Structure 1
Amino acid sequence: MKSFDVIVIGAGVIGSSVAYHLAKKGLEVALIEKGGVASGTSSRCDAVALICDKKPGIDTEIGYASIQLFKQLAKEFSVDFEFASRGSLYVCETEKELEIAKGYVSQQAKDGYDMRMVDSRELKEIEPYLADDLAGGIWTEVDSSMNPYKLCYAFVEEGKKLGLKVYDYHAVQDITLDAKGRVESVVTDQGTLKTKRIVNCAGVWSPKIAEMVGVHIPIKPRKGMVLISEKTPFKVASQKVHEFGYMLSKFEDIQFKRNVSELVEKHNVAFTIEPTDAHNFLVGGHRAFKGYDIRSEIEVIRAIAERAIRFLPVLKEINCIRAYAGVRPWVEDHLPIVSEVEEVPGFFIASGHEGDGISMSPITGRMVAQLITGEPTDFNIDKLNFSRYQNKKAVSL
C-alpha cells in the first residue's frame, strides 16, 4: 500500500495549488481527482482574479496578495496560464448605486487598495461601447485575468517536478481513521493510499468527502451560467466590466433593489463581461441554488443577454455561440473554510471560496502548506476556521 505525507482530494484550482505548495515544502503528496484535472467547477467558471468584487477584510487581503503571487508564478511556471493585469471596471447604473460605490471605495482606499471613482465621461473614455446613460463607476488596475484550465495544469505540472503524484480518475469512496480518530487512509475505487493528513479541496463536493469522517460542512452548490460570444473584429471591452449590481446580487445582506425586469430579477442576473485571449468574450452573470444541476437554461440565457445589452448595446449585433453552467461552493458568510478540523486530527479543509477560488488560490495553497508544516500563515485566518460552523447542521442541497 502506497503511503504519502499528505493526500489532497480535488484537482480544481484550490486543490492543485495546495498540492503544488505542499510538494514545494518537500512533502510526499498525492493529488486525487474523480475526473480529470480541472474537470469540475474550475472548467466552468470565469477567468479572473479580482479584489474589486470583495468586501473589505480578509478576503480582499488574500485576493490582493494572490494577484501579487500570480505575477511571480507567471514568470516561474513552465506552463503559460495567460496571466494579464488588465484591470477592471465596475459600472453604476444610477446615482444611488454611485453613492453606495463611493462608500465602498472609500473603505477600500483606507485599507490601501488602489481603486478610484470615475464619472460618466470617463466611463466612455475607458470603454467606448458602454451605454450613454450610466452614472459612473469604479476602476482599478489591480484586477487580473488568466486561463483557469491552464492555471490548474500549471500548478500540477510544477508539482510533478517536485514529486507530486496525481491520481486522476480515482473516485474517493471512503476515508478510514485509526483507533485514536486520526486520519489513516483514503480508499478509492482503484485502491487504498495511506496518509496521516488529508486536505479536502473538493469544492461543492466537499460535504460528501467530509461525511466520510462524520463532519458536516455547510456548503451549498450555487449555480452560475456564462455565455460565450463569437470572435469579434474589434474589442467590445478591453477589460473585465461588471455592473455594481453584481456585487449587490452576490452579497444577500446588502439591502438594495435594482430597477430591472421581472426576468432578470427572477434569475438573479447581473451584467459582467470578460475579454479572452481568443478574441471573444464571456458574458454573465447569474446565481441560483439548484443543487448540482449544471444544465443551461433558456430563460437564464435570455436574462443574461437582456442585461448585457442594456450596458453594452453593441452586443445586439454579436452572436452567442454557446453557454455553460457551473456550481460554486457557497457558504453563508462568503468566507472560505481554511483550517484543520479539531475533532478529526489530520483532516484539513480548503473549500467554500464560492466564485473567488481563482482569486484566492495561490495564497490559499501556500497557507495550507504553512498550516501543515507548522509555519506561521501569511494572514491571520482565524475567521476562516471551520470551528465557526461546528454548531451548524448539514445544509440541504
Structure 2
Amino acid sequence: MNGLRADLVVVGAGMVGAACAYYATRAGLSVVVVDRGGMAGGTTGAGEGNILVSDKPPGPELALAQWSGRLWRALGDELGTHGIELEPKGGLVVTASPEEQAGLVTLAARQRAAGVDVVDLAADDLAGYEPHLARDLCGGAFYPQDMQVQPMLAAAQLLQAAGARVLTRTTVTGIRRDPMGRVRTVVTDRGDVHTPAVVNAAGVWAGQFAELAGVRLPILPRRGFVLVTQALPPLVRHKVYAAGYVANVGRDSADLETSPVVEGTPAGTILIGSSRERVGFDATISLPVLRRLAAGAVRLFPVLTSVAAIRAYRGFRPYSPDHLPVIGADQRVPGLYHATGHEGAGIGLAPATGHAIADLLTGRSPEVDLEHFAPERFDVHF
C-alpha cells in the first residue's frame, strides 16, 4: 500500500464518513476511506437510524437537519428507498401532563416558524395516529418530516456508490505534515497514504485521532442501549417518543437518563430506546437500564406488556460538550477537517455534514453556515 495517493483520506467508515466520501467523490475528488474495524462497525452499527427534525429547537443544528432531510430524500431516489429501508414515517411526540403539553406546544410553534412541518394534537387525536397508544396521555405533536433508515445498509450503499477505496482493519498511527504545518501523509499500520486533506470522521474516537494531528477535540463516548422485540404484525406506525426525550438529549449530566422511544421496522421487530450515560467505554450490558426501557415502552404502548424482547444492543455516541457537532476545516492544521460529535443525530445529519465537507474541499460555500460547528471553538469555551 506504500505510495498510495488520494485527494482526500476519510478516517472512519461509519455513516458520517461514508457521506463525506460519497459527496467528495461526486465533487470529483479521489478518496480513500480508512477504518480500524469494518464498515459501520462503531456507532452506526448500533443506531436506530433516526432522521429527525422534531427533537431540535430552532438554531444551527435544526438548519443542518432540514438540509440533511432534503438530501436524504434525494439519496432515497438515487439508492432506492427499499435498498436502505428509508421510511418517511413521521414522528409522534407525546406528553403525559398539561405542563409537558404546554411546553411542546411552545416548542412546536418556534419550530414551525423556522420551517418545520408540525401538527399540534389533543389527547383525542392520538388514537388516529397510533391506535395502540395508552389512553391517558395528554396530547402531542406530529412531525411528518421525520424519517428512519437502516444505518448499516445506508452506510454500505453510500460507500459503494462513492466508489472510494475502503481500507478496513487499518489503523491510523500518525499524520505527517510539511514544514508549513500542512497535512501531507496519513500513516497507517498497513502503509502510508499521501494526501493534502484528511477528514476526521472517527466518531467516539475522534478526540484520539485529533491528538495524532496535534490538536485537542473534547469528544467523549455516551453509552446507550436499544431493546429489540420479536417480530410482530404492524403495530407502531411512526417513531413515537415521550416529550422528555428532547430534554434528555440536551442535558450535560454524566448520569443515566432514559425516556421512552418506540418504533417499528420493516422486519416487524420493534426498537425500544432510549438511554444516555457517560461511563467511558464500559460495554457492560445493564439489566436495570433495559428494565427501565421496557417499562417506558409499556407505559406508551400497554399492548407490549406480553411481547418478548429477543435481544439488546448497546453503542457509544460521540458526545460534544456543547451538544453541537464538529464540522469544518481546522484552522490549527491546514488540510485537517472534522466531521464528528453528532451524538445520537449522526445518521440524520450525515448527508449535510458530508456535503458541507465536500463543499469546503472544492471551494464552495455550504448551504448552512458552519460557524457554530467550528472545531476551534473549544479552545475558547472549554
Tell me which interval the TM-score lies in, with the shorter structure as reference length: over 0.9
Q: What residue in structure 2 maps to residue 213 of structure 1? A: 213
Matched-pair contact (CA < 8 Å) for 1:231–1:278 = yes
Q: Which runs of 5+ in 1 are unaligned?
A: 255-264
TM-score normalised by length of structure 1? 0.93
CA distance in 1, matches of 2:381, 2:338: 16
Residue 299 of structure 2 aligns to which amino acid in structure 1?
R
CA distance in 1, matches of 2:155, 2:161: 10
RMSD of Structure 2 on Structure 1 (CA): 1.6
Matched-pair contact (CA < 8 Å) for 1:123–1:136 = yes
Matched-pair contact (CA < 8 Å) for 2:33–2:167 = yes
Matched-pair contact (CA < 8 Å) for 2:257–2:276 = yes
Q: Displacement, 1:137?
A: 0.5
Q: What residue in structure 2 maps to residue 95 of structure 1? A: 98
Q: Displacement, 1:65?
A: 1.8
Q: For 1:163-182, what aligned pairs fall within 5 Å after superposition? A: 164-182=164-182
1:118 and 2:121 matched: yes
Q: Which runs of 5+ in 2 are unaligned?
A: none
Q: What residue in structure 1 maps to residue 314 of structure 2? A: 325
1:154 and 2:153 matched: no
Instruction: Name the stretch that deviates more: 81-90 or 306-315.
Output: 306-315
Matched-pair contact (CA < 8 Å) for 1:101–1:137 = yes
1:344-394 Cα offsets, whole Å, 9 max, x none, are 10011010011111111111111100011111111111111112112366x
1:87-117 Cα offsets, whole Å, 9 max, x none, are 0100101111001101101101111211021
Q: What residue in structure 2 maps to residue 45 of structure 1? A: 47
Residue 389 of structure 1 aligns to which amino acid in structure 2?
F
Residue 127 of structure 2 aligns to which amino acid in structure 1?
K
Matched-pair contact (CA < 8 Å) for 2:49–2:348 = no
**SS of the residue aligned with 1:269?**
strand
1:353 and 2:342 matched: yes
**Correspondent of 1:81 among 81, 84, 89:** 84
Check 1:266–1:378 CA distance in 2 against 1; reply closer, same or farther (3 A cut).
Answer: closer
CA distance in 1, matches of 2:193, 2:373: 28
1:316 and 2:292 matched: no
CA distance in 2, matches of 1:245, 1:145: 20
1:267 and 2:256 matched: yes
Matched-pair contact (CA < 8 Å) for 2:57–2:110 = no
CA distance in 1, matches of 2:96, 2:228: 24
Q: What residue in structure 1 maps to residue 376 of structure 2? A: 387
TM-score normalised by length of structure 2? 0.96
Residue 369 of structure 2 aligns to which amino acid in structure 1?
N
Q: How many residues align?
A: 379
1:8 and 2:7 matched: no
CA distance in 1, matches of 2:375, 2:77: 34
Q: What residue in structure 1 maps to residue 325 of structure 2? A: 336
Q: Displacement, 1:293?
A: 2.1
Q: Displacement, 1:266?
A: 6.9
Runs of 4+ in 1 over 6 A off after TM superposition: none
**SS of the residue aligned with 1:108?**
helix
Q: What residue in structure 2 maps to residue 247 of structure 1? A: 246
Q: What residue in structure 2 maps to residue 202 of structure 1? A: 202
CA distance in 2, matches of 1:214, 1:48: 33
CA distance in 1, matches of 2:180, 2:255: 50
Matched-pair contact (CA < 8 Å) for 2:255–2:278 = no
Matched-pair contact (CA < 8 Å) for 2:221–2:280 = yes
Q: What residue in structure 1 maps to residue 190 of structure 2? A: 190
Q: What residue in structure 2 maps to residue 31 of structure 1? A: 33
Check 1:176–1:253 CA distance in 2 against 1; reply closer, same or farther (3 A cut).
Answer: closer
1:135 and 2:138 matched: yes
Residue 239 of structure 1 aligns to which amino acid in structure 2?
H
CA distance in 2, matches of 1:149, 1:171: 21
CA distance in 2, matches of 1:378, 1:136: 35
Matched-pair contact (CA < 8 Å) for 2:320–2:341 = yes
